[in-house]
Chain A
């Protein structure tokens, strides 16, 4: 009775739906019946058992009804995923199509009727909606329950590779179209050259939104000419970009895994013609790619290693779903079985890992009971909740604590700022802030400064060699060069600028910053041939400064003497406040302490103030560029280059970096300075290099001091340090360590520390000796008295009784003395003095030790 049977298989919620179309040729009526059987896997019997079945009869008409394709799609009215099947009826030359939805009650619902004049071929897809989508004559058509009419899309496709739903865009189609060079408006088409290379491109078309999306984030266009099957595993949007995972098979039988449009793994497949690829997420968090071949072979590839996990033959169909109800997917392989008409008779459920069931053999696995699992889950959640709450509380406590600390810090900062600025700081009341002060709120009176300085106006010309001024950016730089003989005996030098005119509203003293500038003048570049000379036999010291040092050394000239160091004192002050006065005359005062040596020891020095001279400043001169730095403009020679350099160095921020390379030589630094930074050595002091690179780095002065081939100090005088550093880090060998140095170099600090420690020791010694001497002074009178007494007694030793008494007396005295010596005291004044001195010395050495530590 039954003949010409057609069958389709679909998996749905772990069940297997078996659609069978039977055409009854019973005499009277022509009825085509569509049967559906819901089959579910039964663990006990290891069989697929029928749960329920349904029937749909199509009366009348002819028998030319066929099933075209079936799929599970979401019904947009309810949002429920339902199986649906597309049917075709041929009447004359017109094809009539209708879609059947299968409800859970096994009732069929007929929707979406449409007629076409052509037959739908392979590129037909059922999508959510339900929507039927197909391609005909390079055009994309679709119909959905929303539109109810056939619409054509505005995109040309030569093939549909994949169709499905993605986030925010709804149903989309991934297809291939010929590369269109003219289309530029969306900016997502591939670039002109790529199109010229491959002649085709991927296009992603969002059906509902009717727009073209960028295809490059799914697959590189280069593959558009070689791809044969595509499956989009996952899409998402992060930072307004698609995140995609795509598996594709090329014509060369390569399975390629793409992530965000980049190939991540390749597996070469066996011979044959692959026709579809499916993806299964199995229990071990692994993805399996199931490739079906036209030759009824199936090949399973593991994603984690891109190795073929299994090859199977004579497979009728492959379904991926959770058939045994474990929460992960398995692969159901249905084999061709000639002996049985039942299509589910020979099967295998497997995930190529823990699960494997076959129709002939059964290897069960014990799964924990559902109740037990639920209870476990409940307990875990409770415990996690408790931990979360505890965590929350501690975070809140920490936040409160942090806030309190911030408050204290803020208060201290404002107090410090007030102190620096000289204004009185008003402490908020302790209650108001909820704080208790640790110190007494005693008044802190500022002592008026002692006016002990003496103004030695006599003979500044003997001391001052040159006075100059420069304007750099927004700063006025005033420099004083002093004669070298005086230079050595001065200490703690600073400059101050005092305005001549007395404006009532402003203070006559201009706030400025004093600096000392040093440059090593003698550093002549010598040819490398100098080191070809044979040195004298006994030369033990060998240093790495450069080849040049060698020559210097055996010419008997010291490397660096104080005479070579030009010392200039510099004051820097912001220019703009001064410009308000239009025309100013300033006195430059130099304050210093003159060192005095007495018997070779450094004594407390005398403060002295020198009038160095006067400078005048007016707007015309500044705007005409009289004081500007010529070095910045071009590198032709000027006479006052040293002053220019001093001015730049004084204004620019100074950064020192100690660069140590553990393994590679530091030659790239020099290369970097000369090429990337476009530096030129300054003629007067070739150690320093001037950056001529245009941009924000222009005018930066570099000082590169290579101590050994693996260690050096780079000093920058610049306004933007980070650009420099970024570029520097790029060229340094990766094992290099760059450390920022504080202003002083380590050597100087080490010397200072040694001096401070020595001073501390001397202070200790002197204060202890003074204390000891005071104590001894207290003791001597009484002991002397004792001695005289004892002498008297010894001389007149006549009576024994008297002698005993005297000895007793003596003993008592001695006891008293020893008690005294056990408990010696010094006067409070001396003690205070000592403590102050020692504390001062210790503070000094501690400070230097700390600075040395952080440098």
Chain B
């Protein structure tokens, strides 16, 4: 068709070729790139050209409106609707729900008087796919299939948006619609997991558990269902079940994932390609084994199962020392705290379990590593803002401050351990060292601050390092309060 002028009789074929080519392009690019929209617009402009209407300088939405209103030829109906379905997929993938709704209002030719939530689904349902004639060119994916996939994707996407917006009951019913739709195992498992999240937020934990279980039955690779289930059990206070779920999750994460088998592209356009929102990505991001191990250990410690906690902490320390593949990148979402804090928690667990020598050894590790990182004196000038927040601390200073606190906490642990061993001389030595380390910090206030009233909130200062000191003073393990940390330091 290269170089031929646009002519109505050949356009049906041309649009079908465009449709097929775009299907492959979309499937190949594994998401959706900008170029597709351009090519659809070009096809529409050619349709208008054949009808003698100029379509230049119109947006894609306007083009669709013009084409669907002006082109009335019966033989153009099927190819145009087909292309429309593809356009719907492209827009859906770009989360342009408004454009999709407008398009399907044009395609279905009905005016559905429903609420905004169900309008798109109703329009999709009302849209009757034009029958393919026997002589019409073959397509790689039929419009009917595409319609089903669009329906599921639209329901899923809207459900997810409802979930994000906190509109839970609407999200639940949309997600349930999606679960009854046409989709792959992976997507169904994701939908069930989302239903689980939704019902959990609605305060129906048993319902959530049921759906999470279903998700796992459908696709065991859907591990976020497992972590969700652990969260639900935690909410229910069923520590045994929660720890079981976490242990299972850790085991599943340890075994190599069978990613290669799962992808079987028997459909070019799949729900997976159309639904990608940041919320979904964060919900289904694969958690790291060490993160799971950490939460296992922490939960054991919090539940008072010190023996188990110690085992898990030791495993985790071994994992962290094994190499960089087990070290989690430090991003905001990671459940794993900084490595010294993990070590300190491990030391605390060992200490509680009565393994004083081991606790001392673990703390020695921290002391050894932080020695070079702390200056002789750390002079920190800070001021207090109007709202009581601390300002004026540089990031390097903050890091050094953290090291100081880690080191001090390690000494404190060692002191307590020596006390536990009955060697009060050693204990005093280490407590002294602890104080020495802390006294290297010189706080100088520059602003208008009342020294009598230390700031109550320290939002810019992450809590845990301060919290360690609290922890060591015999309060509940694992619970960190920032204000106390400050007081401790001030004492």
Contacts and interface: CB of A to CB of B under 8 A. Distances in A.
Nearest to A193: B9
Given A537-B206, A709-B218, A734 B266 contact: yes
B266 A667 contact: no
A266 B264 CA distance: 32
B355 interface: no
Contacts of B182: 664-665, 667-668
Contact of A535 (B9, B185, B207, B264): B207
A250 B1 CA distance: 12
Nearest to B169: A532
B172 A532 contact: yes
Given A222-B10, A539-B206, A667-B181, A266 B2 contact: yes
A254 B176 CA distance: 55
A735 interface: yes
B9 A664 contact: no
Given A250-B3, A532-B172, A535-B210, A668 B266 contact: no
Interface string A510-539: 000000000000000000100110111101
A165 interface: no
B439 interface: no
A438 B50 CA distance: 81
B99 interface: no
Interface in B178-194: 180-185, 188
Contacts of A532: 172
A250 B182 CA distance: 47
Contacts of A194: 9
Contacts of B180: 667
B39 interface: no
B188 A197 contact: no
B3 A664 contact: no
B2 A662 contact: no
Contacts of B185: 663-665, 710
A40 to B, nearest CB: 43
A254 B214 contact: no
A619 to B, nearest CB: 45
B13 to A, nearest CB: 10
B183 A254 contact: no
A511 B364 CA distance: 96
Given A250-B3, A535-B207, A709-B188, A197 B264 contact: no
A542 B210 contact: yes
Nearest to A196: B9
Contacts of A710: 185, 218
B291 interface: no
Interface residues of B, dominant DSSP: helix
Contacts of B461: none
A266 B217 CA distance: 51
Given A226-B4, A664-B182, A709-B218, A534 B206 contact: yes
Nearest to B6: A197
Q: How large is the interface on B (under 10, 10 to 19, 20 to 34, 35 or more residues)?
A: 20 to 34
Nearest to B270: A664
Contacts of B218: 709-710
B270 to A, nearest CB: 9
A210 interface: no
A552 to B, nearest CB: 15
Nearest to A675: B144
B67 interface: no
Counting chain B CB atoms within 10 Å of each CB, which of A528, A535, A664, A734 scores highest? A664
A733 B266 contact: yes
A254 B2 CA distance: 9
A433 interface: no
Contacts of A254: 2-3
B378 interface: no
Given A197-B7, A734-B266, A664 B184 contact: yes
A664 B181 contact: no
A197 B2 CA distance: 15
Contacts of B144: 731
Interface in B197-217: 204, 206-207, 210, 213-214, 217
A735 B264 CA distance: 9
Contacts of B173: 528
Contacts of A387: none
A237 interface: no
A710 B179 CA distance: 12
A314 B207 CA distance: 84
Given A222-B10, A663-B184, A667-B182, A252 B210 contact: no
B183 A665 contact: yes
A486 to B, nearest CB: 41
Given A662-B264, A664-B182, A535 B206 contact: yes
Interface string B154-186: 000000000000000000110010001111110
Contacts of B183: 664-665
Contacts of B426: none
B148 interface: yes
Interface string A779-797: 0000000000000000000
B264 A663 contact: yes
Contacts of A663: 184-185, 264, 266
Contacts of A734: 266
A671 interface: yes
Given A197-B7, A197-B10, A734-B266, A668 B148 contact: yes
A534 B207 contact: yes
B4 A222 contact: yes
Contacts of A528: 173, 176
Given A252-B2, A528-B176, A534-B206, A542 B214 contact: yes
B206 A536 contact: yes
Contacts of A536: 206
A198 B4 CA distance: 9
Nearest to B263: A663
Contacts of A539: 206, 210
A266 B204 CA distance: 63
B266 A252 contact: no
Contacts of A196: 9
A544 B215 CA distance: 12
Interface string A663-689: 111011001000000000000000000
A542 B216 CA distance: 12
Interface string B318-353: 000000000000000000000000000000000000
Nearest to A662: B264
A9 to B, nearest CB: 35
Interface string B212-250: 011001100000000000000000000000000000000
Contacts of A222: 1, 4, 10
B18 to A, nearest CB: 16
Contacts of B9: 193-194, 196-197
A665 B7 contact: no
Nearest to A676: B144
Contacts of B266: 663-664, 733-735
B480 to A, nearest CB: 32
A535 B206 CA distance: 6
Contacts of A198: 7
Contacts of B1: 222
20 contacts: A193-B8, A198-B7, A222-B4, A226-B4, A252-B2, A254-B2, A531-B176, A532-B172, A534-B204, A534-B206, A535-B207, A663-B185, A665-B182, A665-B185, A667-B182, A710-B185, A710-B218, A731-B144, A733-B267, A735-B266
Given A252-B3, A667-B181, 9 more contacts: A197-B8, A198-B7, A222-B1, A254-B3, A534-B204, A668-B182, A709-B188, A709-B218, A710-B185
Interface of B: 1-4, 7-10, 144, 148, 172-173, 176, 180-185, 188, 204, 206-207, 210, 213-214, 217-218, 264, 266-267
Interface of A: 193-194, 196-198, 222, 226, 250, 252, 254, 266, 528, 531-532, 534-537, 539, 542, 544, 662-665, 667-668, 671, 708-710, 731, 733-735
- Nearest first, the 4 closest Cβ-Cβ pairs linking A and B are A197-B7, A193-B9, A734-B266, A534-B204
